[in-house]
């Protein structure tokens, strides 16, 4: 079963410069159904994904460098050690928080709740000293907001209009365009990457297998193609429906607009929510160093690594409790992967941040914690989906 606005599908069950790695979120969903939804959060299948992950390009990746006055100093040598943070977007807290990537301590709020109209934030991305955040779940509120990546202050509403309805993932295409997944219209929209002006509809869903059905995360690959995860839902009158289509990762040729299925729907993991809803997409963990596999998260529970042909290399569970849902993913600077997650039994309750080894998929828990839990459960994490990794410049 696939998800809706980050998983309206739960209902169906019953029937980074700052190095920044960002990830999108399946939102406006009702986790009781197994998928994400947009506003009422009645989920049938996960739809909010934050689809925010690294793109393999230093200019449009979730790993970025940002100036900060806060540093750690080695008192023995007198050298200043750069700090790193994990940024997490709370889809029910309507804010972005900052977590110390070394200690796991929550370092405070990066973007305060509701700043600039921030609502149900999904994908996070750092570029040119600004934090871009997908926000909103109605045609009137849907936007890409920009904040100062150091202070968290609002810069502007960069993208709005053009038929955008519940933005999830987005990516700079390197061709003067920014591509945005409009989840509740099943479209991939193009905007001018300098002015934010709407350009056109690049691709649309067709309600058929292999189509742009419930677009979630969007990433520019190392080959210059665009990779888009789909939930397998079909939008009707501003709501996702689930006709049984597969959840996949599509590859779009930016020159021709033609798409192919790069990753077919995998088998649900045994302790997942019982369906598959592809959410986060990221290339890494070190594309500049030649380590550039495709990694995906599954809102219904799962983290997978894929080879160049899209086949699964390994897969691990992200279900830290029965009924857990999974957000996007971001790579750290030491070969780790950060993945937010939460309990669908209470999506306003305390969530967690998971950590895994990017090479093996082995869990990397925080001090005194078990499994893959790096942070939490903590009340500062409220249905977390979007995630990004930031390293302070030296």
Return the pLDDT at 227.
Answer: 98
Return the pLDDT at 328.
Answer: 98
Return the pLDDT at 350.
Answer: 96
- Give the 3-state secondary structure of residue 364: coil
Return the pLDDT at 90.
Answer: 98
Does residue 227 belong to any structural domain of this protein?
yes
Q: Which stretches within the chain are classed as H helix?
A: 10-14
Does residue 41 belong to any structural domain of this protein?
yes
Return the pLDDT at 26.
Answer: 42
Return the pLDDT at 291.
Answer: 87
Q: Yes or no: say if 263 and 246 are a contact pair by the CB < 8 Å rule.
A: no
Return the pLDDT at 289.
Answer: 85
DSSP state of 287: G
Return the pLDDT at 391.
Answer: 86
Which residues lie across from 269 on neighbouring strands? none
Residues of the chain with pLDDT under 50: 1-5, 7-59, 61, 67-71
DSSP H or E segment with residue 318: none
DSSP state of 180: E
Distance from the Cα of residue 24 to its chain's centroid: 2
Which residues lie across from 350 on neighbouring strands? 382
What is the rounded CA–CA span in Å between residue 303 and residue 283? 13
**Whole-structure pTM value:** 0.85
User: Helix, strand, coil shares of the chain as percentages rounded to 5?
Assistant: 5, 45, 50
What is the rounded CA–CA span in Å between residue 196 and residue 209? 32
What is the rounded CA–CA span in Å between residue 267 and residue 284? 23
What residue has token string 């849902």? Answer: 325
DSSP 117-157: G--S---EEEETTEEEEEE-SSTTT-EEEEEETTT--EEEE
Q: Yes or no: say if 265 and 247 are a contact pair by the CB < 8 Å rule.
A: yes
Does residue 3 belong to any structural domain of this protein?
no
Does residue 200 belong to any structural domain of this protein?
yes
Give the structural domain span for 174: 9-391
Phi, psi of 210 (to 5 degrees): 85, 0
Does residue 370 belong to any structural domain of this protein?
yes
Under 8 Å CB-to-CB from 236, ≥6 apart: which residues? none
What is the rounded CA–CA span in Å between residue 302 and residue 368? 23
Return the pLDDT at 30.
Answer: 40
Does residue 291 belong to any structural domain of this protein?
yes
Does residue 4 belong to any structural domain of this protein?
no
Return the pLDDT at 63.
Answer: 54
**CATH number, domain with residue 89:** 2.120.10.30
Domains identified in the chain, total number:
1
What residue has token string 């986790």? Answer: 31
How many contiguous H segments (helices) and E segments (strands) does the chain have?
Answer: 1, 34
Gyration radius (Cα) of the chain, Å: 18
């Amino acid at each position: 079963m696939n998800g809706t606005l980050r998983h309206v599908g739960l209902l169906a069950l019953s029937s980074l410069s700052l190095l920044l790695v960002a990830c999108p979120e399946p939102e406006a969903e009702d986790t009781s159904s197994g998928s994400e939804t947009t506003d009422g959060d009645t989920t049938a299948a996960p739809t909010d994904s934050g689809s925010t992950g690294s793109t393999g390009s230093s200019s449009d990746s979730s790993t970025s460098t940002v100036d900060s006055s806060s540093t750690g100093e080695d008192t023995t040598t007198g050298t200043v050690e750069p700090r790193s943070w994990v940024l997490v977007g709370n889809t029910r807290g309507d804010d972005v928080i900052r977590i110390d990537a070394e200690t796991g301590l929550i370092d405070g709020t990066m973007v305060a709740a509701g700043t600039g109209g921030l609502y149900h934030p999904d994908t996070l991305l750092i570029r040119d000293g600004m934090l871009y955040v997908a926000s909103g779940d109605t045609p009137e509120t849907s936007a890409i907001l920009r904040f100062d990546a150091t202070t968290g202050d609002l810069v502007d509403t960069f993208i709005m209009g053009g038929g955008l309805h519940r933005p999830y993932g987005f990516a700079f295409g390197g061709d003067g365009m920014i591509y945005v997944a409009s989840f509740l219209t099943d479209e991939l929209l193009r905007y001018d990457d300098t002015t934010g002006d709407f350009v056109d509809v690049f691709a649309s869903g067709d309600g058929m297998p292999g189509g742009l059905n419930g677009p979630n995360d969007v990433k520019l690959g190392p080959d210059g193609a665009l990779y888009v995860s789909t939930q397998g839902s079909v939008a009707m009158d501003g709501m996702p429906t689930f006709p049984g289509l597969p959840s996949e990762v599509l590859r779009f040729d930016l020159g021709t607009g033609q798409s192919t299925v790069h990753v077919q729907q995998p088998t649900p993991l045994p302790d997942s929510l019982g369906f598959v809803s592809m959410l986060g997409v990221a290339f890494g963990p070190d594309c500049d160093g030649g380590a550039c596999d495709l990694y995906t998260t599954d809102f219904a529970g799962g983290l997978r690594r894929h080879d160049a042909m899209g086949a699964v290399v390994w897969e691990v569970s992200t279900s830290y409790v029965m009924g857990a849902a999974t957000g996007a993913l971001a790579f750290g600077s030491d070969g780790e992967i950060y993945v937010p997650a939460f309990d669908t039994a209470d999506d306003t309750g305390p969530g967690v941040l998971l950590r895994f080894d990017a090479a093996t998929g082995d869990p990397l828990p925080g001090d005194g914690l078990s499994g893959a839990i790096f942070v939490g459960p903590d009340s500062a994490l409220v249905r977390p989906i979007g995630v990004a990794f930031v390293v302070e410049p030296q």
